[in-house]
Chains A and B, each alone.
Chain A
């Protein structure tokens, strides 16, 4: 009988999982790089890391990562609905992560909209989406580490 870990570690899923983790690390790094901290705290002084203090560059990378993740999330959701749910069930920690990812994506979409020409949100809403995007991400990172220590995956085989 296959365990959930066997399923998540199998071929394509393992590859997808690592691509997801790497993309998320890049997103977290470039997201934090939107705050003026990398130059202050010598990160951009590390050889090869000078780019991290370029706000425009980290912003582009963050957008590229968002494009990739939006495609990946759409793929995974539709794949789960069409095929996965017949044999897999999401566990409770997956629901927590999905809710947080939903928060990150939703606030991220509004963040992107705000940056478009001719789109102006109210000052309070602008501040809300800016801070909640960071808040959702920090909570997600914290819980992802907790779930990693607990060895809690996303799915179980029915």
Chain B
């Protein structure tokens, strides 16, 4: 799907403008007013989404200055198996995640009470509570902020794509020919920079709403303290006899979806693949590591006990020998 002028885009442009005007007159949630250290989550009520892509366009517009401007030609990569990832000539792609498109609309047509119904919903980084991309990034380029945002620092990232490999949804996307690796060993280490939704961390820092939330004419998304967002998600879910996604996935995320149909059902009919994340249940990727971390507290105690035991035993033997 590329940008084209159509009746749909004309309508969505109008709706987006109306949404922006409406949002600008609505006071921001207290927690977003000014920098907050509280963990914030977003609520996405998929019943409300009309798939107008206003959020997608707002995201591109607001974050455009963060998008990569790669230097070409790209350095020759060694070994040859290392492929370049170049999206710079496909900046208008909007139907999947790319370094130039951090949010897209996913579509699912399912049967509800015997009738076909189409649902659309925004997809982007889930902003996990314990994000493996940030935990396992070897350079500290990906990191979680106290307010629940997980972001990748484009000035530090070397584009090794490890964050994408360990992300259960494989969200980050790479652009070659940009970033720190060009100044180190461009042919032998690194391959660009990884890009993904940063939930407009710079806007949130200044008390503004993320662009996708602010512009939405249907108020599909909401942002607030995670416990309040969860409370609301449960309340909607109870009211519509619905389902929640993101609360427990990967140990808990800061993106909570509410749907009137099971996510397994939605997952079956969405387009999945590179740049198009699934909606499957996800176990906590870091759970095993967290358990092993607890054993690290016990290990030195065991070592000390063994050494003390050895000293006591040799002293006892010494006394017995006297």
Residues on A facing B (Cβ under 8 Å): 34-37, 40-42, 55-56, 59-60, 63-64, 66-68, 70-79, 82-83, 109, 112, 114-118, 120, 123, 126-131, 134
Residues in A whose Cβ lies below 8 Å from that of B295? 67
Which chain A residue lies CB-closest to B81? Answer: A40
**CB of B91 closer than 8 Å to a CB of A:** no
Contact with A along B76-120 (1 / 0, CB 8 A): 000101100000000000000000000000000000000000000
Number of A-B contacts (CB under 8 A): 122
Whole-angstrom distance between the alpha carbons of A67 and B135 in the complex?
A: 18
Residues on B facing A (Cβ under 8 Å): 79, 81-82, 129-130, 135-141, 143-146, 153, 156, 160-162, 165-166, 189, 251-252, 285-286, 288-290, 292-293, 295-296, 299-304, 306-308, 310-311, 314
Whether B138 and A83, one on each chain, are in contact in the complex, defined by CB atoms closer than 8 angstroms, is: no
Tell whether A36 pairs with B300 under 8 Å between CB atoms, given A63-B292, A117-B130.
Answer: no
Whole-angstrom distance between the alpha carbons of A118 and B165 in the complex?
A: 23
Whole-angstrom distance between the alpha carbons of A96 and B284 in the complex?
A: 40
Whether B140 and A126, one on each chain, are in contact in the complex, defined by CB atoms closer than 8 angstroms, is: yes
List, sorted by A's number, 22 A–B pairs whose CB atoms are closer than 8 Å: A36-B160, A67-B296, A70-B299, A70-B300, A71-B306, A73-B300, A74-B301, A74-B307, A75-B307, A83-B311, A83-B314, A109-B296, A114-B135, A116-B293, A117-B129, A117-B251, A117-B286, A123-B140, A128-B140, A130-B140, A131-B140, A134-B138
Whether B308 and A82, one on each chain, are in contact in the complex, defined by CB atoms closer than 8 angstroms, is: yes
Whole-angstrom distance between the alpha carbons of A130 and B162 in the complex?
A: 15
Whether B299 and A129, one on each chain, are in contact in the complex, defined by CB atoms closer than 8 angstroms, is: no
Residues in B whose Cβ lies below 8 Å from that of A36? 160-162, 165
Query: Looking at chain A's contact residues, is the secondary structure mostly helix, strand, loop, or mixed?
Result: helix
Tell whether A115 pairs with B140 under 8 Å between CB atoms, given A73-B303, A82-B307.
Answer: no
Whether B137 and A130, one on each chain, are in contact in the complex, defined by CB atoms closer than 8 angstroms, is: yes
Whether A55 and B81, one on each chain, are in contact in the complex, defined by CB atoms closer than 8 angstroms, is: no
Tell whether A66 pairs with B296 under 8 Å between CB atoms, given A36-B160, A116-B290, A120-B144.
Answer: yes
Whole-angstrom distance between the alpha carbons of A123 and B198 in the complex?
A: 14
Picked from A56, A66, A112, the residue with its CB within 8 Å of the CB of B285 is A56
Whole-angstrom distance between the alpha carbons of A77 and B79 in the complex?
A: 45
Whole-angstrom distance between the alpha carbons of A11 and B129 in the complex?
A: 49
Whole-angstrom distance between the alpha carbons of A78 and B137 in the complex?
A: 35
Which chain A residue lies CB-closest to B145? Answer: A120
Residues in A whose Cβ lies below 8 Å from that of B300? 70-71, 73-74
Whether A115 and B289, one on each chain, are in contact in the complex, defined by CB atoms closer than 8 angstroms, is: yes
Residues in B whose Cβ lies below 8 Å from that of A35? 138, 160, 162
Whether A63 and B304, one on each chain, are in contact in the complex, defined by CB atoms closer than 8 angstroms, is: no
Which chain A residue lies CB-closest to B286? Answer: A115
Whether B307 and A60, one on each chain, are in contact in the complex, defined by CB atoms closer than 8 angstroms, is: no
Residues in B whose Cβ lies below 8 Å from that of A82? 307-308, 311
Q: Apart from A63-B292, A115-B290, A126-B143, what are 4 other A-B pairs with CB-CB below 8 Å? A: A71-B302, A74-B304, A115-B136, A123-B143
Residues in B whose Cβ lies below 8 Å from that of A55? 136, 162, 165-166
The CB with the most chain B CB atoms within 10 A, among A42, A114, A129, is that of A114
Min CB–CB distance B230 → chain A (angstroms): 16
Whether A115 and B293, one on each chain, are in contact in the complex, defined by CB atoms closer than 8 angstroms, is: yes
Residues in A whose Cβ lies below 8 Å from that of B139? 127, 130-131
Picked from B145, B289, B308, the residue with its CB within 8 Å of the CB of A78 is B308
Whether A34 and B140, one on each chain, are in contact in the complex, defined by CB atoms closer than 8 angstroms, is: no
